[in-house]
Structure formats: C-alpha cells, structure tokens
Amino acid sequence: MNRACRVGLAVLLLLAWAGVGVTADGPLDTARIEQLSGLKGQLNQRGDVFKLSAPRTDAAVHVSGWPLPPFMGLTSWAAFTPAPGGAMVMGDIVLFQDEVNPALDAALASGLAVSALHNHFFYDQPKVYFMHITGQGSPDVLATAVRRVLEAARRVRQARPAPALGFGGPPLPERSAISPQPIEEALGEKAQVQEGMVKVVVGRQTRMECCEVGADMGVNTWAAFAGTDQDAVVDGDFAVTEDELQPTLRALRQAQIDILAIHNHMVHEQPRIIFLHYWGRGTASDLARGVRQALDVQKGGPAAPH
C-alpha cells in the first residue's frame, strides 16, 4: 500500500469514527469545498483540479530589505482533485516560525499528512517556512482540515500580532552539566560527552546507486542535550522512512518537541530516507523519553495517538 493510500485510509477511518459518510467518486462540489475551507478557489477543468488560495497579507515580509508581495510566493494553497474515496488534496502552507507547530498539530489531528517543512527564501524578515500537506478521502473532511490548519496559524497571530523572536523561557546556563547515564538508559545507546553536553547517535542503513551507506555517511538519528538535568534543551535529526514519518512526527509532538524542518538529504536511495530536525526544552529525562518514544515507532512500537 503506497503512502497516499495509507493517508486515505487514515482519513476514511477518521470519518467512520466521526459517523460521517464517505463521498463517492465523482466531480468535486467546489462550492462545498469553498464553504468548508473558508477560501475561494479556481477550477482548472482541463486538469480537473480545484485550487484554493490564501495570500499572506496579515504581516509584512521583507527579503533582503525588499517588501515581498504575496504574488512572489507568500500564498498558501490547497489543490483538490477527484480520487478514490472522494478526493486527494495537496498543498503548501505559508507560516511564520511560531505558527509552524500549532499548524502541524492541526494538520495531523485532522487526518492530513505533513510531507515537508522548509524555507523558500534567504534573508527574510520575519523568517517564513512552508509546510507541505497531503491527504485523501472525503472532500468535506479534507476542506475542513485545511481550514483548521489555517485557523491554527491565525490564532497565533491573533494572540501575538508580531511573530515571536525566540522560543521563550529563561536563558540556559552558560555551562552545561547534563548527566549522561539517564540519557543512555532512556535511549539504549552509549553517549558522547563534551563540556557537559551529551549526544547520542543511532545509525540507519540505506543503499545509494553505488553502495550501502549508514551512520558514518550521515544516515543517522541523533539527539544532543545541553543545559542542566532540570532545564535542558535537545536538538537533533531523525532519519525515517516514508512510512515512519507521520507516526514519528506525532510522537515528537506528543512529547511537546518542536519540529523545525522536514526534507531529504539524498536522492535515489532505497529505501528513501526523510530527515526531520527538532528542538525541545524541559527536563533532560522528559526530553530523552520523548526522543525514545519516537525511536520506538521506528522499531515497530505503537504509534503515538492522534
């Protein structure tokens, strides 16, 4: 079963749980999609695609000092096309840094998959990120999910009109003093220690066109801890297969660990490896448990709940 079908199945199960009927295959009800999403769209009849657009006009963005118009790439969009179960949606959501994880949470909770998260610009102020989404199933559910993602971002801006400049919280101590043993026990791996910081690396294997590549070639999951045992930060990179991406995202978010980027580091590898970068703050033990929960997903453990 490919990824699109798995996402579609998840949406269908969500529908069954909610008691909502599944729309049969056929032409899209574009007026209904507009109503449920709260956005206006345009139908490309030749391609049978209905595309919703939402320009970001609520905050000025400058690239290298130049005011960037929404036409130049600051427009969120979601495109619908008929598919088994009703429709398929693909989209790209324009977000400021403090909106990313609330919007990502809304996407996952609504049955959408998040397939990429990255920047499109250099020297942008405030920094802008783009979150790619996809899903398959009832057009009603998909359109409602798109609305919920955008509403999550709007709530952040309503609470704080200017995008945040940091994660918040008091500054970390200048010198780190993380105890390695509890982290090693939580993650089941020997740690590297340097100047009070602790780092654990878990290798993975894939194959490029020429040869096998693993941890030393950059195919690895890692977690680095700094601060103190009671007030720590963790940052790192998860190397996941396409099948593991969504449950790993849910596991990290359940542990209140922020997702910073989702992208590829290689091409033509088999199996394909996706890398997601993350950052969290809390006690070192809680952070280690959150990372372990996400690692367990890769080892066939239970996925984090939606």
pLDDT of residue 203: 93
DSSP state of 18: H
Nearest to 23 by CA among 89, 76, 121: 89
pLDDT band at 47 (very low <50, low <70, confident <90, very high): confident
Provide the token pair at 160: 């704080």
Q: How far apart are CA 154 and CA 302, in angstroms?
A: 32
H or E stretch including 262?
strand 258-263
- What average pLDDT does the segment 164-189 reach? 95
Phi, psi (deg, nearest 5) at residue 263: -165, 180
Residues contacting 117, CB < 8 A, separation 6+: 100, 104, 129, 130, 131, 132, 259, 260, 261, 262, 263, 276
pLDDT tens digits for range 242-293:
999 999 999 999 999 999 999 999 999 999 999 999 999 999 999 999 999 9
- Domains of the chain, CATH where assigned: 3-159 (3.30.1460), 180-298 (3.30.70)
Cα(264)–Cα(277) distance, integer angstroms: 11
Q: Of 93, 130, 90, 105, which is closest to residue 4 (Cα–Cα)?
A: 90
- Phi/psi at 294 (5° precision): -70, -35
Task: Give the separation between CA 246 and CA 48, rounded to whole angstroms.
Answer: 28
Give me the half-sphere count of Cα atoms (radius 13 Å) on the Cβ side of residue 152. Answer: 24
Neighbours of 49 (CB within 10 A): 17
Cross-strand partners of 177: 228
pLDDT band at 3 (very low <50, low <70, confident <90, very high): low
pLDDT given for residue 298 in this prediction: 83
Predicted TM-score (pTM) of the model is 0.87
Here the tokens at position 51 are 């595309």
- Identify the weakest region by mean pLDDT among 12-16, 68-72, 183-187, 232-236: 12-16
The stretch 225-242 carries a mean pLDDT of 97
Whether the per-residue pLDDT at 193 is higher than 90: the answer is yes
pLDDT tops 60 at residue 241: yes
Cα gap 176→195, rounded to integer Å: 7
| pLDDT tens, residue by residue, 64-122 | 999 999 999 999 999 999 999 999 999 999 999 999 999 999 999 999 999 999 999 99
For range 157-181, the mean pLDDT? 94
What pLDDT score does 8 carry? 53
- Three-state DSSP class for 34? helix
Residue-wise pLDDT tens digits, 22-38: 444 678 999 999 999 99
